[in-house]
Structure 1
Amino acid sequence: MAQSSNSSFFSEEELDKLKSDCKTDELGAASLLIQKKLEELDNKDFNIAVTGESGSGKSTFINVMRRFQSNHEGAAKTGNTLTTTEPIGYRHPNLLFVYLWELPGIGAKHFPADKYMKKMEFKRYDFFIIISRSRFTENDAKIVKEIKKHQKNFYFIRSKIDGDLNTFEMDGKKVKIAEELDKIRNYFVDSLNKEVIASPTVFLISNFKVNEFDFPTLNKSLPDIIKNSEKEVFVLSLPSTTLEIVEKKRKWLREHVGVWATLSITVRAIPVPGLPFSYNIMISVAGLINCCKCLDLAVTSLQRLANMAGKPVEELKSVVKTPLMGEINKEFVRQMLLHFNHLDISVAEPVGFFPIIGLIFVAGLSFYMSYKPLSDALDDLTENAQRGVKAAFGTD
């Protein structure tokens, strides 16, 4: 279907339908189309397979990445017995296009290695996380070979690293922790090198100590291994546990703001008095809610961060002070837009140029009224998210 020269988001047919609906007072139909387009902008499903042998901590790892405790409704089931017999996908709590898939344990009675690869359909997944709880096994090697076969990327995680150190302590052995961790890491790097994996990335983690060992590095490094078009999905799906992660989220959300503002240019062409401003409001409401979710500032997200940090949620709420933490509805946004520079919404005048996603748009009033307030709101939300990180984890 051909694309309109006036918009990269609507086809000519869609734009004509939008104008027709507005002229005939079919505003409900027009509203649904706009909402559909907003949802499509964020609909980028990305599937991460978490695999390894049974008992390696896959379920607990997924719960930690989703900021869920094991007793929460919707959490991955954990235990010492076989808990997964089919791949189970878990949505990220904030970004519904990101899925963490827990695969059954390879080599278990129901899943001998020779049948595992075919049944798990590795081609379905975009990225892999292999988790091991002990030595590098033959099953680990088979998983690596299957991933290579499909030309996908992976991280190798050695879980339960705190258990190793506790064992040394219980045995009365005096070890230098840093040296011992290097030995473990080098063992897995050497094992992966034997499988012809150049410069493999190995993380040593404890699912119960998310700010120790390699867990913080894991969170920071996930986006860097994904090709550019997919980095955004990973950055926005990470828990906001460091200032660096929050700042990366601001970068990507700034581009989202540009996309939402560009939609306002499209609807400005509709010849219905007052309608562009109505859609600016709807676009802005959707944008602000999305920013709050991505920055972990929604009430449920703050609670999960507090749970991860082992602190009462009131501590985080006490430093997160912004009116954007309240209910974001049409009236709230309408007042925000009306207050913005006391602009007269009936006057359309050019206001300059704004760089958005590598392109430069000639900005009219409709674009400016969406972009600038949302951009300022994003900065405010980011600063509050940074204060929340410091309160929760006391870390940069």
Structure 2
Amino acid sequence: MPHGDSKREIEEGNRKVENDQDLARAKIQEYLDKEQNVPLNIAVTGETGSGKSTFVNAIRGIDNKDEKAARTGCVETTMEVTPYLHPNYPNVTFWDLPGIGTNNYPAATYLKKVGFEKFDFFIIISADRFKENDVKLAKEIQKMKKKFYFVRSKIDDNIRNEKRSQREFNEERTLTQIRNNCIQGLQDQGLQSPQVFLVSSFDLKLYDFPLLKDAFLLAMPNISVDMIKEKKKAFQAKVKYWAMLSAAVAGVPVPGVSVAVDTTLLFGVVTTYVLGFGLDIPSLKRMANYSGVPYEELKKVIKSTLIAVKVTPELVMRLLAQFSSLALLLAAEEGSRFIPLLGIPAAVGLSFTFTYRSLNMILDMLADDAEKVFTRVHLKTTG
């Protein structure tokens, strides 16, 4: 065969490998984008003065004085439907709705004026007992077959008032009485099994705020060690899925494709871990501002090299390469491709194992650091 033909075939072969890699990368990115970009529109509604705007700020981990905060005050501040993006998750939007029953938004036309049908999930807030308008909203949401929670806000005010007025104050008993009163009032107005959460938007560790996570767990700030553990569980539930996806790509009989795709996949998933635990630079700086713990001091309690830096595919792979067991798995996967007949099945199994172990290892590291950061901040705010 002429030398020129051999060179041409090699070049064509290289182009084919590159095209296969690009196609595989694009497919993985499509999966990642689908996971990360599903929009979630959460409506926060209720009567004027119930603390809707303060709640919107709290659930996003934003201080009321922050330039990105929803306006709060003792008079009506939300005059129109206003969206607020979560700082880490642009696909998660909290909508601060005007108070129902005002001159501008009377109850009879409220649903149409605020565009109720466009929201996926609803938080109905009241600073007192839930009233007729709150129940009407809940019944309309039920008709749309969407989820909602009742949130009884400003519980810290109630607890302080009860402490002053009761000779033998018992906080747990008082909370139970408030919750039962809310539930009974809603049932009396025709709602079956209403879910009521008692919260203070100024101290997220207290009362029922940690329980408000089912619909938007990963979008919430780290308000307790239990919350961090729940986030870790949510992430762990999908590790096997990502490992199976990696294994499927490993079945492509082209050297280099699996490694290229694994790099893209691991980078995308690990980035969601960093954001979910609030360990990216903007989140850590916000935490420093709110807690009074200097940013540099927060960085000192962190061990992982993926935190407080710009995460890149190369950084993720460099970290994994430091662990000999993972490096050997990756090398074995590529080497197995040259074994006749059994090579590709072996590569599939090795790819699954490599991705599964890598994600679990990184998840353990990041969750551990998230707990360290939370503990450091908690010591400052409670000390």
Query: Which interval holds the TM-score relative to the shorter structure?
Result: 0.7 to 0.9
- Please state how far the C-alpha of 1:115 moved relative to its aligned partner: 0.1
- The farther-off stretch of 293-302 and 61-70 is 293-302
TM-score, length-normalised on structure 1? Answer: 0.77
User: What's 1:47 paired with?
Assistant: 41
Alignment partner of 1:140 is 2:137:
no
TM-superposition CA deviations, 1:1-49 (whole Å, max 9, x none): xxxxxxxxxxxxxxxxxxx996274465654443232211233333322
- The farther-off stretch of 316-325 and 337-346 is 337-346
Alignment of 1:75-94 (within 5 A): 75-94=69-88
User: What's 1:320 paired with?
Assistant: 302
- Please state how far the C-alpha of 1:111 moved relative to its aligned partner: 0.5
- Please state how far the C-alpha of 1:386 moved relative to its aligned partner: 1.8
Q: Give the one of 331, 343, 346 matched to 2:334.
A: 346
User: What's 2:210 paired with?
Assistant: 219
Alignment of 1:103-252 (within 5 A): 103-167=97-161, 174=167, 176-178=169-171, 179-212=173-206, 214=207, 217-223=208-214, 234-252=216-234
Regions of 4+ moved over 6 Å: none
Q: Which runs of 5+ in 2 are unaligned?
A: 1-12, 338-345
| Contact preservation (8 Å) 1:22, 1:272 | no
- Please state how far the C-alpha of 1:189 moved relative to its aligned partner: 1.9
Secondary structure class of the residue paired with 2:239: helix
Give, as a single letter, the amino acid of the residue that structure 1 aligns with 2:44: V
Alignment partner of 1:384 is 2:334:
no
- Please state how far the C-alpha of 1:79 moved relative to its aligned partner: 2.8
User: What's 1:6 paired with?
Assistant: none
TM-superposition CA deviations, 1:283-330 (whole Å, max 9, x none): 111222111111122122233344555544445333222222244323
Give, as a single letter, the amino acid of the residue that structure 2 aligns with 1:240: N
User: What's 1:17 paired with?
Assistant: none
TM-superposition CA deviations, 1:83-131 (whole Å, max 9, x none): 3343333232333433322211101111100000223343333322111
Secondary structure class of the residue paired with 2:43: strand
- The farther-off stretch of 105-114 and 294-303 is 294-303
Number of corresponding residues = 352
TM-score, length-normalised on structure 2? Answer: 0.80
Secondary structure class of the residue paired with 1:323: coil
Identity %: 37
- The farther-off stretch of 260-269 and 35-44 is 260-269
- The farther-off stretch of 56-65 and 35-44 is 35-44
| CA shift in 2, pair 1:319/1:335, >3 Å | closer
| Contact preservation (8 Å) 2:197, 2:212 | no
| CA shift in 2, pair 1:375/1:32, >3 Å | same
Aligned Cα RMSD in Å? Answer: 3.1
Alignment partner of 1:373 is 2:358:
yes
Query: Which protein shows a greater Rg?
Result: 2
Partner Cα distance (2:112, 2:225) in 1:
41
- Please state how far the C-alpha of 1:362 moved relative to its aligned partner: 9.7
| Contact preservation (8 Å) 1:57, 1:131 | yes
User: What's 1:265 paired with?
Assistant: 247
Partner Cα distance (2:63, 2:198) in 1:
21
Secondary structure class of the residue paired with 1:347: helix
Give, as a single letter, the amino acid of the residue that structure 2 aligns with 1:393: H
